[in-house]
Structure 1
Amino acid sequence: MKTANDMIKEKGSDILCVPVGTIVLDALKKMNTCKVGAIIVTRDDKPVGIWTERDLMRNILDGAFDPKSTRIEDVMTKALIFAPYTDTVYNLMDKFLGLRVRHLLIEKDGETIGMVSSGDVMKASIQEKDGELKQLNSMVGWDYYENWSWRPESK
């Protein structure tokens, strides 16, 4: 079964980041260019927060919010959620559903090695099920039935 580490190796360990002090509009432009729904906020190259599409939805309802002047650290989510690199697809799905989040930072030996989204985990789960189905089909295909015949026991 795939682990978070396997997913990071497949998709790459690059995490879209902006430093503290970045204006929200600049972060949005970067997210839009890269076609992602979340960006990590860093201080001294260490993650200190995350800002997502959900945060934008919440922020936009605040009359004082101006993406052209608001700094990202003023609206980011500070409570980062990490998962160990050894977590399996099902462990990660459990976390996404239980914590109601869409992004998890993956940690190995105290270092952040990447980030997975709920979409990444869904893709890995589908690939896993597809592999299982192909394996089952190969084990119990028509060839098996066409070549099978009942032979009575001789006395």
Structure 2
Amino acid sequence: MTVSSILKDKGRDVATITPEATLQDAVNMLAARRIGAIVVTDFADRVAGILSERDIVRAAGRNGGDALTEPVSAHMTREVVTCAVDDSTEKLMEMMTAGRMRHLPVVQDGKLVGIISIGDVVKRRIADAELEAESLKAYIASG
């Protein structure tokens, strides 16, 4: 299975924010959408960074409540690992495990086209395993 098939099922909607927005803006968006990370994009819809709940907690730990008035750009991860629509779920699992990441923006032709979470990958792998098990049962029963 590929990123494309996951996006086909879950959709391509991605929560984004600008680097100039405040951490408070990001917190509000994360809470409203019930998500764990937000992609920071520039004016051309290119990935400029990613901001996760962990980044916000670290900022609050360093600067207390004052961190919420600071720009997203001060706390985002700038070197973002991304994936492509034709990447396999196996490759995603390797990338996420190696980089200890829970979210991978999907980029095509330099533009953000989706986001994949570790939950999306696990859900797909479970569905694939269940389908394989059912196919094997049907094969054995017909034999």
Aligned residue in 2 for 1:151: none
Could you give the per-residue CA deviations for residues 59-92 of structure 1, whole angstroms, max 9, x where no partner exists?
Answer: 2210356243111111111111111211111111
Contact kept? 2:39, 2:47, Cα under 8 Å: yes
Alignment TM-score, normalising by the size of structure 2 = 0.91
Higher helix fraction (1 or 2): 2
RMSD value over aligned CA atoms?
1.6
- 1:51 CA drift (Å): 0.4
Structure-1 residue corresponding to 2:82: 82
| Matched residues, number | 142
- Name the counterpart of 1:41: 40
C-alpha contact (below 8 Å) 2:23/2:72 kept by paired residues: yes
Percent identity over the alignment is 28
State the distance in 2 between where 1:112 and 1:14 align. Answer: 10
Distance between the aligned counterparts of 1:110 and 1:24, measured in 2? 26
5 Å matches for 1:41-80?
A: 41-44=40-43, 45-63=45-63, 66-80=66-80
Q: 1:131 to 1:28 in 2, by over 3 A?
A: same
Question: Which residue in the other structure is 2:128 paired with?
Answer: 128
The one-letter amino acid paired with 2:109 is D
5+ residue gaps, structure 1 = 145-155
**TM-fit CA distance, 1:16:** 0.1
Q: Corresponding residue for 2:9?
A: 10
- Distance in 2, Cα, partners of 1:109 & 1:47: 12
Give the aligned residue type for 2:10.
K
Structure whose CA Rg is larger: 1
Shift of 1:8: 1.2
Is 2:103 aligned against 1:108? no
What are structure 2's unaligned runs of at least 5 residues? Answer: none
Which amino acid letter does the alignment assign opposite residue 104 of structure 2? L
Q: Give the alignment of 1:129-148 within 5 angstroms.
A: 129-141=129-141, 144=143
Q: Per-residue displacement from partner, 1:76-114 (whole Å, max 9, x unpaired)?
A: 111111112111111111111111111111122333211
Whether 1:30 aligns to 2:29 is yes
For residues 42 and 65 of structure 2, the distance between their equivalents in structure 1, rounded to whole angstroms, comes to 23
In the aligned structure 2, how far is the partner of 1:65 from the partner of 1:47? 27
How far, CA to CA, are the matches of 1:79 and 1:54 in structure 2?
16
